[in-house]
Structure 1
Amino acid sequence: MRRVTMMLAVLAGVVLLAFAPAAAAEPATADDTARLLAGMPPSAASPLAPLTQDPAWQRHQRSFDSAFGQLEQRQLSRIHAWADANLAAPRPAMFYFFSGPDFLYADAFYSKATTYVMAALEPTGPIPDLVRLPRVGPSLSYVEHSLQSLLSFSFFITKQMKTDLKEGEISGTLPILYVFLARTGKTIRSVDLVWLDANGALHEAGEPQPPHATQGARIVFADADGLEKTLYYVSTDLSNSGVKSSGFLKFCDTFAPGNSLLKSASYLLHSGAFSTVRSWLLNNSATIIQDDSGIPLASYDSKAWGFFPFGRYAGPVDKFPNMYQERYAVLFERAQPLDFGIGYRWRTNESNLLLSVRLPAGETSASAEAAVTPERSDQFERPRRGPRPPAPIPLSPPPRRDDFWFWPRW
């Protein structure tokens, strides 16, 4: 009898051990993971809820509450107001090339989009699983360090990203995208790793794939009003040689035409090595919001676009010599005020923002007014130079020596 009892006890122990790992490995939802990384409490039933008692998380929460609160007041709320005052008839899709994981500004400028296509070199990394981590502190330090430059200056520093996004117990752009989605009031419903074939077709990560397939992620989320939206982040080389066989632009074709954003883009689109992506954006964008590091003004067909400059063009920062654009400077002599900072010249009184609106075929530049609300100047103080012109500013003839074309070889 004693032997039978011992055998039963051993059997019970084996059963408990068999179930223990499954219980310990119970996954957290992507939304709870995003909230925890963003310094926001996950749902009470989440396996991540006990981590909110960790002093490291509580310090992280205080830090992010302060940082995002200041960013909202200083920039994001003003960008939302600017977009509401200046953009009408939004397209369902928006494209943000050279974006890194910067969903924050994609949402701020184009909050009414339902499909976001972002692309950059930085890898997606694995889907974050905080339940399996021995401690949460290093992961929180990872996102804090990775976001430091964007929260301070409005852009990621590329050299730092190459290092930041490969370190720590979590890695890649997904944790950063999670933070921005949570902090902008989104609810993540699903996250999948995906890849593109040469024809631009989207495949699940589990499907057989060729070597060097273009990798990415698909995030389905709900906005505050419950509207379901989709974010695609694609890790890809946007140079001519990179997009030649990646299938990325063919993938983008399925959503075009859309609205585009270019910010702190390292002046890459000034180079012939990125002419394919530059042409695609010009041919497939209804509007383009950019600073001077985006598409050079000389590449726009002035008969096909209306231009609405905001802020002040102070020229490129020292890191990008020979990128001064004379025609850009002339255009911005009649610019409207801008009450937020953006781009490499992130201080409010130094930033420039150009809204370019594609004109309907056969119509003049005055038609661009249909894409910009009449009340747009009510938001801002009128410039001292005089009242706002009633139509987009036309480009003057190019100077005899066009400084657009003095760039270093990439």
Structure 2
Amino acid sequence: MTLSSTALLTWYDRNRRALPWRALPGHPADPYHVWISEIMLQQTTVTAVIPYYQRFLERFPTLEALAAAPVDDVLVLWAGLGYYSRARNLHRCAGIVAENGGFPRDVESLRALPGIGPYTAAAIAAIAFGIPVIPVDGNVERVTARVFAIEAPLPGSRKLLATQAATLNREKAAQARPSDFAQALFDLGAGICTPRSPACVLCPWQGGCAAQKSGIQALLPRRAPKGDRPARYGVHFLLIDDAGRLLMRKRPPSGLLGGTVELPGTEWLCALWNREDAFIHAPFSDRPAGKTGRIRWEAAGEIKHVFTHFSLSVAVYAARLPVMPNPDDRDGFLVRADELQKNALSSLMRKCVETGLDFIGAAGRDGDPPSKKSGTMRNVKLTEGEGA
């Protein structure tokens, strides 16, 4: 089998992607840029990450700026990327690295930092510090499965694929350019050895690819069948007053969507909520009626959202008051609708807010009571992980 490092690097020199975090040819990579991009790219596509990365670097141009910022500012810029534990760990890690005077330059020390696992440590070590290791992401797993014709399915084959991937850089050319070699593997998987319809005729490793010789390249890597995600159900309440102020609250700092801002509502349980039990969790439900007047809740719509380990259905109810009562710590806090972007709303909660506001706005425009309007189903396609 011939897997020429020289051939791959020659291809890379001609076809390398221009990415905002990638150093220009002949220039050293910035460890801060590599780290930020690699954390953002976990479970997220390059196309989705680029605008987030650019906004993030505008706000936090240096490690020190990130370390000095409040964690809530980090979460605001992260909102929509999902896996919010990444943002919290990013902030913790920045403080540690800034205090230590910079990133460590070996894989094991990098792995000891918050939020940096085996892959990210290897990526920073290889790309930023020129250590000859192979970072194994999904692209590299796919390339490895094909060039070695490894038919054992993922995720069980992950250890075997990592072992085989570690042999790809044994030639002198790869050892001499570890940063470029790692990124060449990424680009090969992203542009040539794609999940469907790999462009084998353009591949610099075509001659040494065992799967291509056997005609099974498009079938690899195989994956074990996934089980069905369990379903969970919740109810959230959008309350707005005539001054355009919304009642919001903050989730606990750790756990799923930790530290993000949301509409008040119920827990997410495995059974549908009945209206009576759900409305115990409605804003100001424990206040005397004279304090708030009668809040007229109407069904605004339903949101479907997919997390890593479960699917979620959220019923959204909406209501308007002339004047919002002063909330206490139990209720949450007030946010002007036109300033919501300053808060760390997850993509799920953005959809809930949009559904509620659209419903309230439609009723107001047409002069009909909300009960005459039907809410619309919103399907959220972005998958968010369960960040701890």
TM > 0.5 between the two? no
Q: TM-score, normalised by structure 1?
A: 0.23
Q: TM-score, normalised by structure 2?
A: 0.24
Larger RCO, structures 1/2 (Cα 8 Å, 6+ apart): 2
